[in-house]
Chain A
Amino acid sequence: GAVVSQHPSWVICKSGTSVKIECRSLDFQATTMFWYRQFPKQSLMLMATSNEGSKATYEQGVEKDKFLINHASLTLSTLTVTSAHPEDSSFYICSARVGAGVTEAFFGQGTRLTVV
């Protein structure tokens, strides 16, 4: 299957600082990538859809100024959590699909963010 690489796997940061998470498609081009957040024992919550060369589409309730998404190339999307607070501590996962239409989603390894 296709490979999606996410970095870092875990990060601890101080409250008020910003954290950048990278998501790369290693062996395919992804015009669209998806960013999810998952709290313990809960479902994957879609935060935003990242579109190469254009603005991301954010889900209702997700602050676009707090969660900055940049999809500058066909193989890289980044999520920056700005001015992080302890309530932003969560598991962040990116995914990409090969092509359009009905295709399976491939996930990155996930990033465990802890804000102290």
Chain B
Amino acid sequence: GQNIDQPTEMTATEGAIVQINCTYQTSGFNGLFWYQQHAGEAPTFLSYNVLDGLEEKGRFSSFLSRSKGYSYLLLKELQMKDSASYLCAGMDSNYQLIWGAGTKLIIKP
């Protein structure tokens, strides 16, 4: 079956660094997406990885290891506005997105 696993909740301090992990199992693989979702709002796109390695985009970076079925989202210099849920989604061979339950990130001053 297809499955995406990520932690339910994480807490970090403003200004610090946090890494949100995601493991995936999909029927075929066409890449791994990360989205940010603030409470009561729709998700917004953060990153896409299909090749192994690290993709850096400002304060946010995303890493993929296809052999391990593993990805992480790294957030640096945390700001209060980064408090949100972070959704990991794998794209299968039919180009369907398989969504994780999301990781709620709580930023403390």
Contacts A44-B43, A107-B42, A110-B41 known; A102 to B95 CB distance under 8 Å? yes
Q: How far apart are the CA atoms of A102 and B40 in the complex, in Å?
A: 27
Q: Which residue of B lies closest to A9 (CB)?
A: B40
Interface residues of A (CB under 8 A from B): 1, 6, 41-46, 91, 93, 95, 100-102, 104-110, 112
Chain A binding surface SS class: loop
Contacts of B104 in A (CB 8 A): 41
Contacts of A109 in B (CB 8 A): 41-42
B3-31 to A contact mask, C-beta < 8 Å, 1/0: 00000000000000000000000000011
Q: How far apart are the CA atoms of A54 and B41 in the complex, in Å?
A: 29
Q: How far apart are the CA atoms of A93 and B48 in the complex, in Å?
A: 21
Quick check: A44 and B99 within 8 Å, CB to CB?
A: yes
Contacts of A41 in B (CB 8 A): 104
Quick check: B43 and A107 within 8 Å, CB to CB?
A: yes
Contacts of B31 in A (CB 8 A): 102
Determine whether B33 belongs to the interface, using a CB cutoff of 8 Å to chain A: yes
Determine whether B50 belongs to the interface, using a CB cutoff of 8 Å to chain A: yes
Quick check: A42 and B101 within 8 Å, CB to CB?
A: yes
